[in-house]
Amino acid sequence: MAVCIAVVAKENYPLYIRSVPSENELKFHYTVHTSLDVVEEKVSAVGKVLVDQRELYLGLLYPTEDYKVYGYVTNSKVKFVIVVESSNTSLRDNEIRSMFRKLHNSFTDVMCNPFYNPGDLIQSKAFDSVVSSMMVQAC
């Protein structure tokens, strides 16, 4: 269950960002922003070898005391970032992977919509619902 989910475009501006509203959202925005650096680093490291081998799921980008940040990059350099609470130890790697998979799937569906121009903010309800299902249910 994520605390914050963000989709960042290739040019590193956010296409979609949603956090649990109860917390300080600015903190999450900042976290996502700083995580982009880590993403770039991971991407460029593997890139020296053949690009084919670069995996989409980047894994844990970096942990802080309060939460952990996971990253995922698509082939078109769109990045998904998920922030989860550190206290949430039950969340396994596979679950994070499946969350990214779902995100990727619905992102693809958004892309397929001819009325969506790549680079626009994502306003799809279907995408919203997928994201909501993955967020911590805010009380």
Partner 1 sequence: MDRGPGTASGGSFISISENEQRCYSGLSTLCQADSSGKLAASKVGELFRASQLPAETLHQITDVCGAKRLGYFGSGQFYVALKLLAAAQAGLPVSLESIKEELPLPRFADMKDDRDPRYPSRSQSSDTPSHQSAAASESVPRAPMDRGAVRHQGSISERKEPWSPPPSPCRSPPDSPLSYHSYAYSTPRNGADAHLGQTPGVSVWAQDTSSPLHYGAKPPMEHTSSRHSAERPVDHGIVDYPDDPWRITPEQREYYTNQFRSVQPDLGALILGSVARNFFTKSKLPIPELSHIWELSDMDRDGALTLAEFCTAFHLIVARKNGYPLPESLPPSLLPSFAEKDAAPPKLVSEDMFFETSGAPQQTDLVLAERTEPLISFEEPDPGPSLQEKSESEHKALLSEMITPKQDLAEELPQSAFSPKRAPVTTDQEKPPERFHRAPEQDPPHEPEPHVRSRARPRSYSSTSIEEAMKKAEQPPTPPPRPQKSHSRASSLDLNRLFQQGTHGLKSGYLPHPPALPPRPTATQIPHVPPSTEQSSQKAVRQPDFADFDRFREEPPQEMGLLQPPQKPLRRKYHPESQARDPAQTFGSPAHPPGGNRPPQKLSSGQKKDVQLAIRKNKETNAVLMRLNSELQQQLKAVHQERIHLENQLEILRPAAM
Interface ranges with partner 1 (CB under 8 A): 50-57, 74-76, 94, 97-98, 101, 104-105, 108-109, 111-116, 118, 123-126, 128
Is 34 or 98 the residue whose CB approaches partner 1 more closely?
98
| CA–CA dist 30, 107 (Å, integer) | 23
Q: Which is nearer to partner 1, 27 or 97 (CB)?
A: 97
State the minimum distance, in angstroms, from the CB of residue 95 to partner 1: 11
Q: Min. distance of Cβ 55 from partner 1 in angstroms?
A: 5
